Structure 1
Amino acid sequence: MENINYQILLYYCYAKIENPEEYREQHHLFCVEHNIRGRIIISDEGLNGTVSGLVEDCEKYMAYIHADPRFAKTEFKIDSHDKHAFTKIHVRYKPEIVHSALRHLDPNVKTGKHLNPEEFKNLKDQEDVVILDVRSNYEHELGHFKNALTLDIDNFRDFPEKVKELEYLKNKKVLTYCTGGIKCEKASAFLLEQGFEDVYQLHGGIIKYGMEAGGEDFEGKCYVFDNRIAVDVNTVNPKVVSTCHVCGTPSDRMVNCANQSCNAHVAMCEKCGWEMEGTCSTECKENPDKRTYDGTGYYQKNTNGYNPYKGLKRKAKAESNA
């Protein structure tokens, strides 16, 4: 059996950060010094990240987060892995920790009732309950809860507009879910703001549900935002629900189109993946700027000039003057 020396951490925390740009640099330097890789968003409203590292480095990283009183309540979804799930570290400031167009909502003030995986499992099949998937099309097409209501949205920022179509559910118990729980914090808060009265959310999302409740009745795979692209969730009654974008055969193998100007997230069987050179269409296959397909369908995003060592000279200078 392969040695499992690495971990992948998925987390978020809504907490006010007074000087997010300054904290972004501090946080980034800690990651560089401890070989933590991944994508982290720092915002005035908190933190959101998926990172990977050696087990001992991940333990130090979690201790670093929890040592800050602002983020002491942060919960980590921890998965074992045999290598880094990222090739670089990116710590960026953004206005929101998840792009929602709902900046006025603070989940620490009001949000849906949190359900742990077992509570969600016991409640989801009741007659007056609607299970609402708040993720994007490519995510729920790959996998979703049995009988879940899915929304035709390309990005989470489209969610508020779609809620107008859900007025008929106001007399139901609405159970929201997403990958790790972060989108549900704002989605359930918005539903409450719009007059829905009985709103819940799966705390820790699909990932935690798989870890703690065996993933029962989650059909298909869960799309994740690292080089694994998709992960198994259900160990109780698994089922493939997606089909190859090219040939239509059942497939839960996910790729990002090799044509970077397209970058569509689609299910694609291994045979079609190689035949199409990782692209989703003939047009994309013929694009001269397409990326080289290596069989995974995962491509590190363009850094856009981001310098992973920004701030190190400043730190070194400060230490030398101490």
Structure 2
Amino acid sequence: MKPYRVLLYYCYTTIENPEQFRDEHHRLCISLNLLGRIIVAPEGLNGTVSGLPADCDAYMRIVKSDPRFASLEFKVDEYDTHAFQKLNVRLKNEIVNSDLPVNPLEKTGIHLEPEEFRQIKDNEDVVLIDMRSNYEHSVGKFKGAITFDMENLRELPEHLDEIKHLKNKKIITYCTGGIKCEKASAYLLKQGFENVYQLHGGIIKYGLETGGEDFDGKCYVFDNRVAVDVNQVNPVVISTCYRCGTHTDRMINCASPACNNHVTLCETCGTDHLGTCSDACKNDPYLRPYDGTGYYAKETRGYSPLLGYRSQQSSMSH
């Protein structure tokens, strides 16, 4: 049992006054000593936070006591320490950037629980489609899944031609925690795909509940861990070192702040090249010290959760 917990969650629900909710939610997280990244929007709530077990339990209990979030599910993992350096609760137009003309509260693909997904994923009439960014699926994906060369979900319409011949198949979309699939599956339905399903809770829930069978590689996550193990049944490494080509699943952010590319880098190249993806990056005069993790928090000079909250309050009042 590790001393900290990492919570991953989302919920599409109507939030009438998102500015007020953001302020209240920020105060709640501060009171519980949580760190992480949370997005509040008129369409719902999306976050990943870390903290001590008792604080995380209190947070989950308080959030789910709100009728708007009664259906929200938390994916709970263990970690040695906080998975974040700071707390950031932000107000946005969407809880996941997509610009797709859909409303997940109206219609989405059929949700498959992890065990249901495991049982049918290899059927001949089933096609798995990864809805994550290219750097995410480069380090890990489900065996046989279709992937798109896209930076974010906004680019999904540009890739529909690649799967238009599969409209008579059972399409199952998946992503890290399930949130992208709510909109992606809804968009596919709108584009004429009839048999659309989605992995409920995403890769993370699948790993926690089934052991992660047939997920090859690691799962990229948006915190200090960078990438986490999913498959405890038949794990393999599918990614190679960006610099030397040897097999490795060590995912890092390039130590050059001007680059910050997400790449796989073996331990030897990480050490020899100071955590950079190219010689040009290695010569960056602003190179960040490489500590072996390849994770770099955004600038936190003068930051404190409470000051961050006060400054946002001040900006909203002007």
TM-score range, shorter chain: over 0.9
Is residue 117 of structure 1 aligned with residue 114 of structure 2?
Answer: yes
What is the match of residue 316 of structure 2? Answer: none
State the SS of the aligned residue for 2:50.
strand
Question: What TM-score results when the alignment is normalised by the length of structure 1?
Answer: 0.93
Q: Which moved more, 1:193-202 or 1:160-169?
A: 160-169
State the SS of the aligned residue for 1:75.
coil
**Would the aligned equivalents of 1:222 and 1:232 in 2 still touch at CA under 8 Å?**
yes
Determine which of 169, 174, 187 is the counterpart of 1:172: 169
**Would the aligned equivalents of 1:29 and 1:312 in 2 still touch at CA under 8 Å?**
no
State the SS of the aligned residue for 2:141.
strand
Determine which of 211, 215, 224 is the counterpart of 1:214: 211
> d(CA) in 1 for partners of 2:136 and 2:239?
10
What is the match of residue 84 of structure 1? Answer: 82
What is the match of residue 60 of structure 1? Answer: 58
- In the comparison of the two structures, how many residue pairs are matched? 312
> d(CA) in 2 for partners of 1:313 and 1:293?
31
What is the match of residue 319 of structure 1? Answer: none
The residue identity in structure 2 corresponding to 1:42 is V
**Counterparts in 2 of 1:306 and 1:182: CA distance versus 1, 3 Å:** farther
The residue identity in structure 2 corresponding to 1:21 is E
Question: What TM-score results when the alignment is normalised by the length of structure 2?
Answer: 0.95
Shift of 1:101: 1.2
State the SS of the aligned residue for 2:305.
coil
Shift of 1:274: 1.1
Determine which of 269, 292, 297 is the counterpart of 1:295: 292
Shift of 1:23: 0.7
What is the match of residue 255 of structure 2? Answer: 258
**Would the aligned equivalents of 1:9 and 1:79 in 2 still touch at CA under 8 Å?**
yes
User: Aligned ranges for residues 139-178 of structure 1 at < 5 Å?
Assistant: 139-178=136-175
**Would the aligned equivalents of 1:110 and 1:189 in 2 still touch at CA under 8 Å?**
yes
> d(CA) in 2 for partners of 1:194 and 1:314?
40
Q: What's the CA shift string for 1:168-225, capped at 9, x where partnerless?
A: 1111100100000000000000000000000000000000111111100000000011
> d(CA) in 2 for partners of 1:304 and 1:159?
37
**Would the aligned equivalents of 1:37 and 1:84 in 2 still touch at CA under 8 Å?**
yes
User: Aligned ranges for residues 4-153 of structure 1 at < 5 Å?
Assistant: 4-102=2-100, 104-153=101-150
> d(CA) in 2 for partners of 1:154 and 1:301?
20
State the SS of the aligned residue for 1:30.
helix
Q: What's the CA shift string for 1:276-300, capped at 9, x where partnerless?
A: 1111000001010121111100011
What is the match of residue 189 of structure 2? Answer: 192
Identity of aligned residues (%): 62
Gapped regions of structure 1 (runs ≥ 5): 316-322
> d(CA) in 1 for partners of 2:266 and 2:24?
42
Shift of 1:160: 2.1
**Would the aligned equivalents of 1:20 and 1:44 in 2 still touch at CA under 8 Å?**
yes
Determine which of 219, 222, 233 is the counterpart of 1:225: 222
> d(CA) in 2 for partners of 1:285 and 1:19?
46
The residue identity in structure 2 corresponding to 1:75 is E
Gapped regions of structure 2 (runs ≥ 5): 314-318
> d(CA) in 2 for partners of 1:304 and 1:158?
34
> d(CA) in 2 for partners of 1:304 and 1:133?
37
Q: What's the CA shift string for 1:51-106, capped at 9, x where partnerless?
A: 0000000001111210111111110000011211111100000111110112x322
Q: Which moved more, 1:225-234 or 1:154-163?
A: 154-163
> d(CA) in 2 for partners of 1:63 and 1:277?
43
The residue identity in structure 2 corresponding to 1:72 is A
> d(CA) in 2 for partners of 1:68 and 1:145?
35
> d(CA) in 1 for partners of 2:304 and 2:200?
35
Shift of 1:314: 11
Q: What's the CA shift string for 1:210-246, capped at 9, x where partnerless?
A: 1111100000000011101011100110000000001
The residue identity in structure 1 corresponding to 2:68 is R
Determine which of 279, 282, 298 is the counterpart of 2:279: 282
